[in-house]
Amino acid sequence: MGFGAINMVVGNLMALRQTQVKRLLAYSSLVHVGYMLVGVGITLYAGTAAGAAGGLFHLLNHGLMKAGLSGAGAAVCPAHRHRRRTPLMISDYPARRGVIQ
């Protein structure tokens, strides 16, 4: 459980500093692995299967969500790539202009 908690804290702190979309999603995945590890740790500590079931359910949900985000990013990237050859930044999204510098 301790390793999962460390993953969550460090991953969230690192994600706060990111400006590239790919890196932000990568640190988000690190945090979610921490959530899953806490579920497994609860199973080992308490001896119930509920923590493992929650961790596996979160694994399924995270996989579906990340696939959807990758598809959305792929839809945005071709338009971005025609303009310039730089990584996709959070500030490139129209809804975020002016909010994140």
- Which two structure tokens, joined as six digits, stand for 23? 């890196």
Across 11-93, where does the E strand assignment appear?
A: none
CA dist 39 and 97 (Å) reads 37
Examine the pLDDT at 23 and tell me if it is beyond 70: yes
Residue 101 within a domain: no
Taking the CA atoms of residue 14, residue 16, residue 21 and residue 23 in that order, the dihedral angle to the nearest 10 degrees is: 0
State pTM to two decimals: 0.70
Q: What value does the mean pLDDT take over residues 17-37?
A: 86
Residue 91 sits in a domain whose CATH number is 1.10.287.3510
Number of domains comprising the chain: 1
What tens digit of pLDDT does each residue of 34-89 get? 888 888 888 888 888 888 888 889 889 988 988 888 777 767 666 555 666 667 67
Examine the pLDDT at 101 and tell me if it is beyond 50: no
Place of tokens 């497994």: 40
What's the CA angle centered on 46, arms 40 and 52, to 5 degrees? Answer: 25
- Which two structure tokens, joined as six digits, stand for 46? 């308490």
> Which spans in the chain are helix H?
2-16, 21-46, 50-83
Q: Find the domain containing 32 and state its range.
A: 2-96
pLDDT of residue 68: 87
